[in-house]
């Protein structure tokens, strides 16, 4: 039966789901650029409240200031990008393009009058400051929640720039020494070795700080720090043959590892891997090349200190060869001692990162959880080290986001010191050491190149596991950001805009 014009429109057919529709030869719609608002999904800044502003360039400068501080304080490229986009959207800048490298921020905005404004901000060398990073995070969160205006955010940003760092340089140096002692204790060092490790790490920290203040490149500062740390450890080990104390080979290796703990580029490599995983290969590659030169300087320092120390000992009538470091492949101390050392590593590691006081104890607790889970997986379950570290990193990343956001800080503030207990730089040190010293004590190094290379490959695997695990744990915890979702709702078509 056919319908006539007076019968009204024919009822619409129900639309079948896509998976029930018959196949067709017609191609799909062209891929459109991802809306800039969609880049805030699964971030704490999603659903921003929009405030229209007539000062587009003021909003651009604010967004670039936020990105510059985040990059300098140790944030990843992904976190920096989402923060810049969140500030821009909250200020009413919809058509924006942001490009981030390790040393620059480029931002382009189409203004309301149709003009295109471009800003370029050069970023200085990074300097870990998690306290300032948390302050910037709180500012961005308040801005996208509609609690502050753009003008108020600009004033707060100036206050953040002028605010002093949380801890003085000498407190950070002492924390570095105690962090090194915690690492030595976890690795099985004795009391004397742990005490000597404190002095060695403080001396290395002050030396590297002085050289950096003199504008000496990091390559030479790392070489000097590795030389001093290795020479002190070897001197204590050699004097154990004639003095009243006794330094075992395990103590020697733990002292060297603790002395250079602040020089190991574990966090930088993890940041590089995180940038590559989250879609920022240019920034990640830049970090990797920077880390390679930093590590090369450390290799030169350690490699120069060993033959020099042997030569000095030989001239003094002592023939003491550097010991092997096989025992550093895994920690064998009891669980209570390991957990106590882990708490010290997390607490003092957070201080070295200039975290605020309220985040220090949670960082220590998260480090204890990480060490406990790793112990259970490797000892009781029998999982390999890389797999155990990856699974533990997922738990750390998950808990760090859940706890940190409720304390008004990004997950990075707790995830980084919480991962210190996994000893990401230990495998790097073992690989470097075995590249330089044979198992029998000769300094030719030719017999251990293959073993050392295998250790370095294993170290890269551990660092990749930490970076990818923390990122995955952070993503898995994103649905629990109830506070971020409840504080703000998206206001389409200008509804809810404030003047």
- Residue 153: both structure tokens together: 């955010």
Question: Which pLDDT tens digit goes with each residue over 215-254?
Answer: 888 889 888 988 888 888 888 877 766 666 777 777 777 7
Domain boundaries, the chain: 36-165, 169-482
DSSP3 helix / strand / coil % (the chain, rounded to 5):
65, 5, 30
Q: What percent of the chain has pLDDT over 70?
A: 75
Give the tens place of pLDDT for each residue, 18-45: 556 666 666 555 544 455 666 677 677 7
Phi (first) and psi of residue 15, to 5 degrees: -80, 125
| 360-416 pLDDT per residue, tens | 999 999 999 999 999 899 887 878 888 888 899 999 999 999 999 888 888 889 998
CA atoms within 13 A on the CB side of 186: 29
Residue 298 confidence (pLDDT) above 90: no
DSSP string across 173-187: HHHHHHHHHHHHHHT
Band of residue 1 on the pLDDT scale cut at 50, 70, 90: very low
Asked if 286 and 101 count as a contact pair (C-beta separation under 8 A), the reply is: yes
Separation of alpha carbons 459 and 424, rounded Å: 7
Least confident of 141-150, 286-295, 427-436, 465-474: 427-436
Cα–Cα dist 420/128, whole Å = 15
- What would the DSSP string read from start to end of 223-290? HHHHHHHHHHHHHHHHHTTTSSS---HHHHHHHHHHHTTTT--HHHHHHHHHHHHTT-HHHHHHHHHH
Q: How far is CA 152 from CA 26, 140, 285, 478, 493, in A?
A: 53, 12, 37, 28, 24
pLDDT in tens, 428-444: 666 666 666 544 444 44
Structure tokens at 327: 């025992």
CA angle 202–204–206, rounded 5-degree value? 70
User: 323 in helix, strand or coil?
Assistant: coil
């Amino acid at each position: 039966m056919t319908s006539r014009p007076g019968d009204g429109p024919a009822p619409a057919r129900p639309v079948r789901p896509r998976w029930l529709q018959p196949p067709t030869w017609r191609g799909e719609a062209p891929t459109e650029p991802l809306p800039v608002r969609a880049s805030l999904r699964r971030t704490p800044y999603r659903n921003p409240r929009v405030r229209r502003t007539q000062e587009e360039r003021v909003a651009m400068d604010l967004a670039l200031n936020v990105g510059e501080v985040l990059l300098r304080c140790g944030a990843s490229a992904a976190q920096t990008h989402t923060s810049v986009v969140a500030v821009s959207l909250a200020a009413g800048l919809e058509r924006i393009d942001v490009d981030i490298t390790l040393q620059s921020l480029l931002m382009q905005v189409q203004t309301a009058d149709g003009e295109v404004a471009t800003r370029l901000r050069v970023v200085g060398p990074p300097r870990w400051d998690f306290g300032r990073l948390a302050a910037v995070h709180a500012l961005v969160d308040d801005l996208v929640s509609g609690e502050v205006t753009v003008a108020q955010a600009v004033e707060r940003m100036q206050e953040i720039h002028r605010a002093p760092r949380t801890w003085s340089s000498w407190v950070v140096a002492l924390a570095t020494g105690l962090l090194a002692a915690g690492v030595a204790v976890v690795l099985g060092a004795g009391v004397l070795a742990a005490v000597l490790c404190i002095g060695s790490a403080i001396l290395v920290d002050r030396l590297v700080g002085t050289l950096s203040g003199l504008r000496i490149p990091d390559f030479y500062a790392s070489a000097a720090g590795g030389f001093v740390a290795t020479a002190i450890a070897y001197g204590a080990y050699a004097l154990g043959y004639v003095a009243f104390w006794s330094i075992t080979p395990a103590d020697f290796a733990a002292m060297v590892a603790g002395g250079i703990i602040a020089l190991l580029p574990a966090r930088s490599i993890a940041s590089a891997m995180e940038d590559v995983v989250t879609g920022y290969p240019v920034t990640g590659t830049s970090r990797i090349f920077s880390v390679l030169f930093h590590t090369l300087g450390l290799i030169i320092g350690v490699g120069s200190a060993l033959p020099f120390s042997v030569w000095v000992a030989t001239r003094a009538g002592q023939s003491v060869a550097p010991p092997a470091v096989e025992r550093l492949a895994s920690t064998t101390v009891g669980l209570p001692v390991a957990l106590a050392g882990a708490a010290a590593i997390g607490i003092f590691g957070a201080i070295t990162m200039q975290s605020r006081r309220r985040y220090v104890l949670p960082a220590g607790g998260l480090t204890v959880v990480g060490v406990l889970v790793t112990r259970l997986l490797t000892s009781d379950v029998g999982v390999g080290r890389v797999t155990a570290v990856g699974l533990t990193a997922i738990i750390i990343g998950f808990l760090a986001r859940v706890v940190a956001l409720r304390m008004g800080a990004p997950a990075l503030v707790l995830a980084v010191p919480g991962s210190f207990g996994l000893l990401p730089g230990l495998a790097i040190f073992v690989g470097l050491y075995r590249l330089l010293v044979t198992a029998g004590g000769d300094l030719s190094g030719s017999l251990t190149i293959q073993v050392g290379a295998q250790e370095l490959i294993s170290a890269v695997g551990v660092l990749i596991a930490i970076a990818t695990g923390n990122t995955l744990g952070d993503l898995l915890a994103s649905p629990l950001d109830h506070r971020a979702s409840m504080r703000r709702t998206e206001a389409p078509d200008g509804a809810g805009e404030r003047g």
